[in-house]
Amino acid sequence: MSKITGLRCTSCKRVYSPDSGLFTCPVCGPYKGTLEVLYDYDAIGKKFNRKNWIVPELPGHYRYIKLLPFEDTKLIPPLWVGYTPLIKSEFFEKKYHIKGLYLKDDTREPTLSYKDRASSIAAIKAKEANANGIIVASTGNAASSMAGFGASIGMPVYVLAPRSIPEGKLLQLLLFNAKVILIDGNYDTSFDLSLKVAEKTGLYLRSTAVNPYLSEGKKTAAFEIAEQLEYNIPSYVFVPVGDGCIIESVYKGFKELKELGFIEKIPHMVGVQGEKSAPLLRAYENNTDEIEFIENPETVADSINVGVPRDGVKALKSVKESNGFFIGVSDEEILEAISELAKYTGIFTEPAAGAAFAGFKKAIKENRIPHDATCVILLTGNGLKDPRAIKRIAKKDVPIVAKDDLDSIVDLIRF
Amino acid sequence: MSKITGLRCTSCKRVYSPDSGLFTCPVCGPYKGTLEVLYDYDAIGKKFNRKNWIVPELPGHYRYIKLLPFEDTKLIPPLWVGYTPLIKSEFFEKKYHIKGLYLKDDTREPTLSYKDRASSIAAIKAKEANANGIIVASTGNAASSMAGFGASIGMPVYVLAPRSIPEGKLLQLLLFNAKVILIDGNYDTSFDLSLKVAEKTGLYLRSTAVNPYLSEGKKTAAFEIAEQLEYNIPSYVFVPVGDGCIIESVYKGFKELKELGFIEKIPHMVGVQGEKSAPLLRAYENNTDEIEFIENPETVADSINVGVPRDGVKALKSVKESNGFFIGVSDEEILEAISELAKYTGIFTEPAAGAAFAGFKKAIKENRIPHDATCVILLTGNGLKDPRAIKRIAKKDVPIVAKDDLDSIVDLIRF
């Protein structure tokens, strides 16, 4: 595929051929040696401009096919993904005295999470490679998302998950016909096994960070934000950070648009972590590239409850290069943020997305964002994926009225 | 508003002024006298054609503003709605030997159900009327949808619900900040009270069927199907039917396009009911317009578990006029259909949407659909709204493997 020129190691910068079949750098290993997909930006930049690089006839985020790692549109899965709403909230602009506030609503992806962006590309690459199936180690959104896309394209999806996986999540996987194998160990064990199984079986690997093409799916929110704001690039983008894949991918998306000359600046990337599951925040605060892992990370936001961030190196780089920052939020702040979003926008998010909004609120409170800034907050998943969250935040005082007591009802409404 | 010429009673055909403020015909009453919004089709048809009647700059289904009951685009709620994917399923086309099979994916509406189409218009009309709030009697999707849109536009939403409302649904309402009043009675009591409370308080009424503008929101799926199929109108549209509002609205949408000369034929509308909650199926089979109510309707599909269909008259008419039919499905068929949809498309639907697909399967099996037909199935809601359904259908035999037993995993995958 001529538009891709190479796969570059994040750490040692060695560039490998896209035909090498490599997923990570053999020198730096699967943790530090995650790869980055490089395109022929010169050629693309010469051929296209802001308007004509988009192919609006293609559904969802495939409209950005010029910067996606496939050519054959016949590979596009039937399940539409991406090109989600960017919602301007005048209410929050007023409340927080900020010039621009936009919510990128990925609660409305096909399996209701941001991970669908990555899974859609994994599905395409697996089909392109004529794989017999896809393997993924995950306890959550990545697995159910991949299972959904496997169903959509008719390819078996094998999931390695810790034995402790919550029943609800397991059932969702089974519903999408995923072949689940429970491992008598933790997430890290499943993750390491997935690499070995992929090698032994030839199954296409969709575990987080170790497949460079996943980023290619996750970066498209940057393209959408740019297009939806008519290339008036926001000042800040708030992203919940666990493994760090989403923040580095969105940063890559903006960087590519700049490389092509379509935009002039890149937003400051703000990484939001749970304050007790914040290895990247710690490294950022200590001004080091050495990420210290956390053994027992804790946050109500499952999807970012990560002590060993698989894409930490890239994530840290994205925040630093863009002059952004990391910020930590408590469980209380996350739950309060979910409730506030629901109450004033009608969007019910999962806790990780609530964390992103909580990070914004905290940054405003701490005067880290100027009032003339425009902020975008990535809402990465739907709250109904884990309805237990509602129980923790909804108030429960509800009046009960006798069946013919019209007067009491009118009194309760009180005009 | 000059584009609307009148409100016509479904039964006696009297036409009232759009400025009358009437919601139902005062002569025929709120059950038989539901009103239909009429536009100046002559003027619209002369001014516009298939292409230029659409305003693609407006988000979601507001692109069809020329046939929507408002003018001022500033009234559009921030929460995007409609213009959902129409997914072609080649897999099901082959499996069921049918020329065309499309899934209209309303599992991806903002509050995850088709009701958002109606609530969005209710929100606009309430704002236009400077109402102090909105009242709705509902136990399910209509209430949570209205609550979401109330949150989006900052207008209080009052919900009258039977005391027996499931906890999950109640919590969702509270999360969106709805003012819930529980009534010590059943749904019908709440419904009747909502009419009286609206009259006494001036709250804007969003109870099903008794507000003609709700249909205006629900009809837009017809416009989308027409546009998405480039005006190659399908032969059949399968719709789950409880109160009957969706099927009559979608029929109205197609009828309007025909009236404007944009399409030449109207699809056969197929109404799918739970076989033990099928008053409209019964009336259809007995070839009568007299709908006999069912006292204790029963179906696993909550949203169509209706014994007294509030929009029954219009629904029956839509099916008859379009030469469609009604069909009944069992709980087992519904659950099997949900599972099949998830397994082969990656879309997890609520039981009512499963019922629509089950109806299609049954119609094929009974040779009621020719093989050269094109069918569209309305998937009206997301399965995660009622996750209990998963438990009933997902298989649960999952292998567990020791943490370093790579060989067993490879054996389980077995190529």
Amino acid identity for residue A241 in this structure: V
Percent of chain A with pLDDT over 90: 86
Of B150, B200, B409, the CB nearest to A193: B409
Cβ(A162)–Cβ(B402) below 8 Å: no
Residue B198 CB contacts under 8 Å (≥ 6 apart), including other chains: B135, B204, B205, B207
Q: Which residues of B touch A147 (CB under 8 A)?
A: 346
* Mutate: best of A392, A398, A404, A412, partner B, most B CBs <10 A: A398
Q: Which residues of B touch A394 (CB under 8 A)?
A: 171-172, 174-175
Smallest CA-to-CA distance from A212 within A62, A2, A34 is with A34
State the Cα–Cα distance between residues A300 and A333, nearest whole angstrom.
Answer: 10
CB contact under 8 A, A78 and B59: no
- Mean pLDDT lowest among A2-6, A14-18, A186-190, B343-347: A186-190
Q: Residue A169: is its pLDDT beyond 90?
A: no
ipTM reported for the complex, 2 dp: 0.94
pLDDT (0 to 100) of residue A415: 57
Rounded to a whole number of angstroms, the distance from the CA of B186 to the nearest CA of chain A is 9
Q: Which residues of B touch A406 (CB under 8 A)?
A: 193, 196-197, 200
Q: Which residues of B touch A385 (CB under 8 A)?
A: 384
Of A176, A382, A391, the CB nearest to B346: A176
Smallest CA-to-CA distance from A145 within A201, A199, A100, A82 is with A82
Rounded to a whole number of angstroms, the distance from the CA of B288 to the nearest CA of chain A is 34
Please write the tens of the pLDDT for every residue from A36-71: 999 999 999 999 999 999 999 999 999 999 999 999
Cβ(B368)–Cβ(B325) below 8 Å: yes
Cβ(A382)–Cβ(A354) below 8 Å: no
Domain extent listing, chain B: 1-39, 86-112+214-393
For range A347-354, the mean pLDDT: 96
Top CATH class of A86-112+214-393 equals: alpha beta
pLDDT (0 to 100) of residue A122: 98
Other beta carbons within 10 angstroms of residue A358's beta carbon come to 31
Tens place of pLDDT per residue across chain B (415 aa): 689 999 999 999 999 999 998 999 999 998 889 999 999 999 999 999 999 999 999 999 999 999 999 999 999 999 999 999 999 999 999 999 999 999 999 999 999 999 999 999 999 999 999 999 999 998 788 999 999 999 999 999 999 998 888 777 888 899 999 999 999 988 888 999 999 999 999 999 999 889 999 999 999 999 999 999 999 999 999 999 999 999 999 999 999 999 999 999 999 999 999 999 999 999 999 999 999 999 999 999 988 999 999 999 999 999 999 999 999 999 999 999 999 999 999 999 999 999 999 999 999 999 999 999 999 999 999 998 877 777 888 777 788 898 889 999 999 997 5
CB contact under 8 A, A348 and B78: no
For residue B232, the SS3 value is coil
- Mean pLDDT lowest among A305-309, A315-319, B274-278: A305-309
CB contact under 8 A, B387 and A168: yes
Q: Which residues of B touch A148 (CB under 8 A)?
A: 346-348
pLDDT (0 to 100) of residue B355: 98
